[in-house]
Amino acid sequence: MSCLASSSSDHPLPLVDHAQGVYIYDESGRDYLDGSSGAMAVSIGHGVPEVLEAMQKQMQKVCFAYRTQFRNAPAEQLARELTELAPGDLNKVFFVSGGSEATELAIRTSIQYWKSKKRPEKTKVLGRQLSYHGMTMGSLSMSGHSARRADYSTLLHPFSVASPPYPYRFDVPDDGQGGASVWESVIREQGADTIAAIIVEPVVGAAGGALTPPIGYLRALRAICDKHEILLIADEVITGLGRTGQWFACMHDNIVPDMIATGKGMSSGYAPVGGLLLRDAVIDAIDSSQLKLFGHTFSGNPLGAAACLAVVRYMKHHSVLENAVSRAAELEQGLRALSAKHAWMADVRGRGLMWGFEFVRDPATKEPLAGSNYRFVELCADAGLIVYGAGFPPLTNAVLICPPLVISADEVKELLSRLETALHAFAKEYNLPL
């Protein structure tokens, strides 16, 4: 028997042995700089003593108590501290086991909200053509990720519709107001009276490779949703808890979504936890109608909550967001310098410590090097760097760089050095100019 693992090719995966800080070590002792934060989750690095100690203390007390039978202190305190960090009146939070469950809960909540408002015809939850909101059937229905939808098409709703904020390849304005305006035509075509909510990633991750709308996009979309009586869901499973330099990425636009889905960085990978933050008006409407928000067995378990609480407190006590902002400037400068040297490394984009770029055969025509991200991930691993291949056919040519938020200035330099080693190997293999 063997443990099934995901791999993009026949390239054998190394066997992990241990990890510390921003480095992961395989069984042979070789180190890899974790330039993807373990797929964007490990926000404060590996092996943080404060988190391990908090988890050990909680394990000695109680690891699990079912949410309909007991309240638990770590979950209640985590809810208080999260809602204090969130914008506006996002004062309620429901904990789940991960990001897919959080966005799935957002669907159910949106539909329940409009039922409570005597608007049961509002059942669509629209997304964007390049997006990814999770692998459950509901969250995948909202996702514009053709590769992951393909095998389940008959089971999914055809929700995703709007053009992404991707002026490099899509005919959309590159300003905030104009970029969001594409939603007006989508709403007209779909019918506002049938749309329960719109869900967007403030920065598109796995589906696009850090597609980053300009400041003003979310503000304009918030106004559009208000105008048409549509809830706005921010999928911050990747961007939440500091990834972009703010506690939540929607705060760059000074808006308050009706719901924020979070996960990944909230636990920094120490436990499988996600959450949905909700505005007072949303939860009050549902409560008044006596509808219920149904969760899962491990929702709000004390061990996971204790891990998240320790992560959040570590971030606050160690000025992690301030470090992320400083290191972001250095990482951006380094990536743009590499792109200037290698024209086939195109469209560097991102915010905070979430950056992406893509490979093109010809910068003039923007012809994508299809499938190149899979090979580049392997070449980076050969150079001792872990990165994430983003996009889906035919645009399998994007890469995400998302190191832990605690990365130091010297470690950013080391990341860029290892990245350049992989870029040289890539250029030789694809016969590209150096």
Distance from the first to the final alpha carbon of the chain: 45
Q: Is the pLDDT of residue 27 over 50?
A: yes
User: Using CA atoms, how far apart are residues 201 and 182, in angstroms rounded to an integer?
Assistant: 16
Q: Which of 401, 105, 48 is nearest to 278 (CA)?
A: 105
What domains appear along the chain, each with residue ranges and CATH number? 16-47+320-430 (3.90.1150.10), 51-318 (3.40.640.10)
109 — pLDDT class (breaks 50, 70, 90): very high
To the nearest whole percent, how much of the chain has pLDDT over 90? Answer: 79
Q: Tell me: pLDDT of 147 over 70.
A: no
**319 Cα distance to chain centroid:** 21
185, 107, 172: which is closest to 142 by C-alpha? 107
At 32, is the pLDDT very low, low, confident or very high (cuts 50, 70, 90)? very high
> What is the DSSP-derived secondary structure letter of residue 213?
P
Listing DSSP states for 15-69 in one string gives: -EEEEEBTEEEETT--EEEETTHHHHT-TT-B--HHHHHHHHHHHHH-S---TTT
Tokens 């749309």 belong to: 195
pLDDT digits (tens, 9 = 90+) for 39-51: 999 999 999 999 9
- Peptide bond connecting 394 to the previous residue in cis, omega within 30 degrees of 0: yes
Mean pLDDT of 316-342: 98
Closest among 421, 354, 411, 409 to 384, alpha carbons compared? 421
pLDDT tens across 72-90, in order?
999 999 999 999 999 999 9
User: Which pLDDT belongs to residue 351?
Assistant: 98
How does residue 148 score in pLDDT terms, banded at 50, 70 and 90? low
Q: Select the more confidently predicted residue: 164 or 91.
A: 91
Name the strand (E) or helix (H) holding 261: strand 259-262
Q: What is the pLDDT of residue 288?
A: 77
List pLDDT tens digits, range 384-428.
999 999 987 778 899 999 999 999 999 999 999 999 999 999 999
Describe the crossing of helices 409-429 and 320-341 by its angle, rounded to 10 degrees: 30
Q: Is 8's pLDDT higher than 50?
A: no
Mean pLDDT over residues 191-206, rounded?
Answer: 96
| Pairing state between β 31-34 and 385-386 | parallel
Band (pLDDT 50/70/90 cuts) for residue 150 is low
> Given a cut of 90, is residue 180 above it in pLDDT?
no
Q: What is the pLDDT of residues 51-79, one digit of tens each?
A: 999 999 999 999 999 989 999 999 999 99
Give the integer Cα–Cα distance in Å for 389 and 355: 12
Tokens of 348: 């560097």
Confidence (pLDDT) at 191: 96
247-299 pLDDT per residue, tens: 999 999 999 999 999 999 999 999 999 999 999 999 999 887 766 667 789 99
Geometric angle at alpha carbon 174, from 158 and 188, rounded to 5°: 40
